[in-house]
């Protein structure tokens, strides 16, 4: 949890699981593809090895743990199936439109996903109106992705803002580790569907954005 103060001048949002409710959808696509190769992954495994990680990291984990190479054909199929799933089922996290439309300070997103996948997700959810290309940072922008701090530090540098004046909003362990390593303030968001599979998901999500509004009232209109 962050140490709340009046020094935040830049907000860095993770994308998957924070801006968009994508993690359950991604897990289902991966599980279906891997099952065809005799590989079974459960939610615990997905959380520990896939959540908040780059595609390249996921490829290496699958090869290491299951001796299965995710070749170009399989990678393309994953991308195609995920795109279709996103276009048909993806939604923004409850309350995020209100947060983004009321922010008074600069903000961006910094994600382990690719720029292409991020754009597909933003377009599918209507969140593209909040993010220009200059506000999107991906794992491809740095040598070392999360949990290394490089991506967050790179985003802050582009804005010309000191890490100590940045607030990161993250759901995954690698993302939280990256924010801590970058010496940035951090808010752990746990309102995504992958964190709460109950009927109260919407209330859970809205409660976490209320935490943001309560502790950082000077950031919003």
Assess if residue 2 is contained within a domain: no
Angle at CA of residue 83, ends 77 and 86, nearest 5°: 140
Do residues 119 and 168 both lie within one domain?
yes
CATH number assigned to the domain comprising residue 66:
1.10.150.240
- Domains contained in the chain, number: 2
The answer to the question of residue 72 being in a domain is yes
Boundary of a domain, candidates 65, 89, 113: 89
pLDDT tens per residue across span 52-85: 788 888 899 999 999 999 999 999 999 999 899 9
Answer whether residue 203 shows pLDDT above 70: no
Question: By CB neighbour count within 10 A (0-12 exposed, 13-18 middle, 19+ buried), where does 52 fall?
Answer: buried
What domain range includes position 179?
10-20+91-219
In a domain, 4, yes or no: no
Average of pLDDT values for 5-25?
88
Q: Are residue 68 and residue 122 in the same domain, yes or no?
A: no
Report the distance separating Cα 116 and Cα 119, nearest Å.
Answer: 5
Based on the domain organization, do 163 and 111 belong to the same domain?
A: yes
pTM for the whole structure: 0.82
Rounded to 5 degrees, what angle do the CA atoms 101, 105, 108 make?
75
Question: In the listed set 63, 89, 115, which residue is the last one of a domain according to the structure?
Answer: 89
pLDDT, position 95: 87
CATH number for 174: 3.40.50.1000
Sheet holding 166-170, edge to edge: 136-138, 107-111, 10-13, 166-170, 185-188
Q: What pLDDT is attached to residue 65?
A: 94
Show Cβ contacts of residue 199 under 8 Å, excluding neighbours closer than 6 positions.
none
Domain end residue (candidates: 61, 89, 117): 89
Could you tell me if 58 and 150 lie in one domain? no
Q: Are residues 70 and 129 in the same domain?
A: no
Phi, psi for 12 (deg, rounded to 5) = -115, 115
* Pairing of the two strands 185-188 and 10-13: unpaired
Does one domain contain both 111 and 212?
yes
Q: Are 101 and 178 found together in one domain?
A: yes
State residue 49's pLDDT score.
86
**Same-domain status, 36 and 110:** no
Residue 3 is assigned to a structural domain of this protein: no
pLDDT-wise least confident of 86-95, 158-167, 211-220: 211-220
Same domain for 123 and 107: yes
| 5 occurs within a structural domain | no
Please tell me whether residues 76 and 96 are part of one structural domain: no
- The more confident residue out of 26 and 162 is 162
């Amino acid at each position: 949890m962050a140490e709340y103060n009046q020094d935040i001048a830049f907000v860095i949002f993770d994308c998957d699981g924070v801006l968009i409710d994508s993690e359950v959808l991604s897990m289902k696509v991966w599980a279906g593809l891997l099952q065809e190769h005799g590989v079974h992954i459960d939610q615990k495994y997905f959380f520990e090895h896939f959540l908040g990680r780059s595609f390249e990291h996921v490829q290496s984990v699958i090869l290491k743990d299951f001796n299965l190479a995710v070749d170009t054909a399989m990678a393309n199929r994953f991308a195609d199936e995920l795109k279709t799933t996103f276009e048909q089922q993806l939604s923004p996290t409850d309350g995020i439109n209100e947060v983004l439309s009321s922010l008074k300070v600069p903000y961006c997103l910094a994600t382990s996903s690719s720029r292409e996948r991020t754009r597909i997700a933003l377009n599918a959810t209507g969140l593209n109106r909040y993010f220009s290309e200059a506000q999107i940072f991906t794992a491809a922008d740095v040598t070392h992705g999360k949990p290394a701090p490089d991506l967050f530090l790179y985003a802050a540098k582009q804005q010309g803002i000191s890490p100590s004046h940045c607030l990161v909003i993250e759901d995954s362990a690698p993302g939280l580790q990256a924010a801590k390593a970058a010496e940035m303030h951090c808010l752990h968001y746990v309102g995504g569907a992958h964190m709460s599979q109950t009927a109260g998901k919407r209330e859970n999500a809205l409660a976490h954005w209320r935490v943001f509004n309560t502790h950082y009232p000077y950031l919003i209109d």
